[in-house]
Amino acid sequence: MRILFLTHAFNSLTQRLYSELTRDGHEISVEFDINDRVTEEAVALWQPDLIVAPFLKRRIPDAVWQRHRCIIVHPGIEGDRGPSALDWAIADGVPAWGVTVLQAEAEMDAGPVWAAETFPMRAGTKSSLYRGEVTEAAVRAVLAAVEHFGSGSHTPRRVTPGAPGVRGRPRPLLKQEARAIDWARDDTATVLRKIAAADGVPGVRDALFGVPCFLYDAHPAGSAREAAPGSVVGRSGRAVVRATVD
């Protein structure tokens, strides 16, 4: 099968899917989704049987998805919609999450489901979960979706948020206002989840020593002397220790 990858970057998931599908005998072309003109030209040149979008930051052009079967990898459970799927899952501390392979339509993340996989969540950063559990689930789901498409007899399922048995729901972009740490109230576990959910991009906006900054790479530091929550109580190399309410 001739497959075109539309992707924002040739990231770890895209590389893994490229290797898996090439190994299975498919012909793959990769196009960076820069703008509508470039994407439409790539489709015209490659003439794909199927378009796979492992990692996008914008909608597929109408002229493409209306004429070609396009499936999108969404790092969320069935029914989940929105650009911050994994961020919300980490911030909310959900016990399990998943990956859904959707057909592209006019509304983002609302198309029929071609395949879906779930996995247990663990305490970890967004990038760690993405490179691990999300990638493994995405590979399984995409391979299943490609097989379903190739069979010519599979009908994808419509999933309605809020329907019985559907946990996912539309969620907005997780903005800094919602990510903000309330040092007077948030315990250590909450602080760690908020920073882990913003790992890589965008970080958690805060301040240190009166200077605005973004927080990353947080770890529990054990006990420390009593101090006002949010204050710096120690330093080790380039790391600082901040007190929390607990």
| Residue range 129-175, pLDDT digits in tens | 999 999 999 999 999 999 999 999 999 999 999 899 999 999 999 99
The answer, yes or no, to whether residue 224 has pLDDT greater than 80, is no
Which band of pLDDT confidence, cut at 50, 70 and 90, is reported for residue 223? confident
Residue 190 CA to chain centroid, in angstroms? Answer: 20
Please enumerate in sequence order all residues whose Cβ is within 8 A of that of 190, keeping only pairs 6 or more positions apart, or say none.
181
* pTM beyond 0.95: no
Q: What pLDDT score was predicted for residue 140?
A: 98
Average pLDDT of 230-241?
A: 92
**Peptide bond connecting 61 to the previous residue in cis, omega within 30 degrees of 0:** no
Q: Which of 115, 128, 135, 140 is nearest to 13 (CA)?
A: 135
CA distances 75 to 107, 151, 185, 198, 225, Å, are 17, 25, 30, 15, 40
Which band of pLDDT confidence, cut at 50, 70 and 90, is reported for residue 222? confident
Name the pairing type of β-strands 113-120 and 96-103: antiparallel
N- to C-terminal Cα distance for the chain?
A: 56
Burial class (CB in 10 A: 0-12, 13-18, 19+), 16: middle
Q: Per the structure block, which two tokens stand in for 91?
A: 């911030």
Euclidean distance between CA atoms 196 and 181, whole angstroms: 12
Euclidean distance between CA atoms 18 and 20, whole angstroms: 6
Using one digit for the tens of pLDDT, what is the confidence trace for 27-49? 999 999 999 999 999 999 999 99
* Single-letter residue type at 135: T
Euclidean distance between CA atoms 42 and 48, whole angstroms: 9
Residue 166 CA to chain centroid, in angstroms? Answer: 19
